[in-house]
Amino acid sequence: MNKDARADGAPEVGRRLRELRAERGLSLSELARRASVGKGSLSEIEAGGRNPTIETLYALCGPLDVPLTALIGEAPGIDGAAHSGMRTVLLSVRHLPAMTVEVFRLEFPAGADHVSPAHGDSVREHLTVVAGRVRVGLLGAESTLGAGESVSWTSDGPHRFAAVDGGAEAVVVITTPT
């Protein structure tokens, strides 16, 4: 989550992360290892002293087997930033009997090239480009889409979101089995 997010963002993410880790019986060291996140960084996030990037949050979601909103909360408008400058804004989250459905608006400045880590078994993403052009999909199998075009994939491996020829905007629907 970035500085534009709610003021209580970092402490709330830290609290949720700590609770999820404890529920799963994982030590700080073990979660750090599984997520490929530094133990010191993870400790700072749990203490609420660090705002994690989208990359770090998704790296933690995989080993915890939870959707992103389990860490960031479910209030529409919560936003986050990736190292590449890509910005995410939560539009909606729904908990259905068989899955959690999250809807995010993605904003790409010119040159944004974001690689997201795997999200876990059977997590699906469906992306529709709203404006501009986006290169998206599992690494090595990306497609370039223009406004109005869509693509879906299973997010069980690293995948790319990149702006092509300037800025772009898209909507992504992520379904995570419960």
How much helix, strand and coil, in percent to the nearest 5, is found in the chain? 25, 40, 35
pLDDT of residue 5: 37
CATH 1.10.260.40 residue spans of the chain: 9-72
* Domain 79-177 homologous superfamily, CATH: Jelly Rolls (2.60.120.10)
Calculate the alpha carbon distances from 118 to 9, 63, 110, 123, 166 in Å. 24, 10, 24, 9, 26
Residue 54 pLDDT > 80: yes
83 or 172, greater pLDDT: 172
pLDDT at 162 over 60: yes
- Structure confidence by residue, pLDDT tens digits, 12-39: 999 999 999 999 999 999 999 999 999 9
- 163 has pLDDT over 70: yes
- CATH 2.60.120.10 positions along the chain are 79-177
Q: pLDDT digits over 70-122, tens only?
A: 998 898 988 888 888 899 999 999 999 999 999 999 999 999 999 998 887 89
pTM, two decimals, is 0.85
Helix ranges (H only) for the chain are 9-23, 28-35, 39-46, 54-64, 69-72
Residue type, 150: S
Q: Please determine, for residue 3, whether its predicted confidence score (pLDDT) is greater than 60.
A: no
- Confidence class for position 8, pLDDT limits 50, 70, 90: low
113-116 and 124-138 beta bridge pairing: unpaired
pLDDT value of position 165: 94
Give me the CATH code for the 9-72 domain, please.
Answer: 1.10.260.40
* Residue 178 pLDDT greater than 90, yes or no: no
Which pLDDT score is estimated for 62? 86
Confidence of residue 6 (pLDDT cuts 50, 70, 90): very low
Decide if pLDDT at 176 tops 90.
yes
User: Token pair of 158, please?
Assistant: 């690293």
Three-class SS of 57-94: HHHHHHHHCCCCHHHHCCCCCCEEECCCCCEEEEEEEE
The mean pLDDT value of the chain amounts to 90
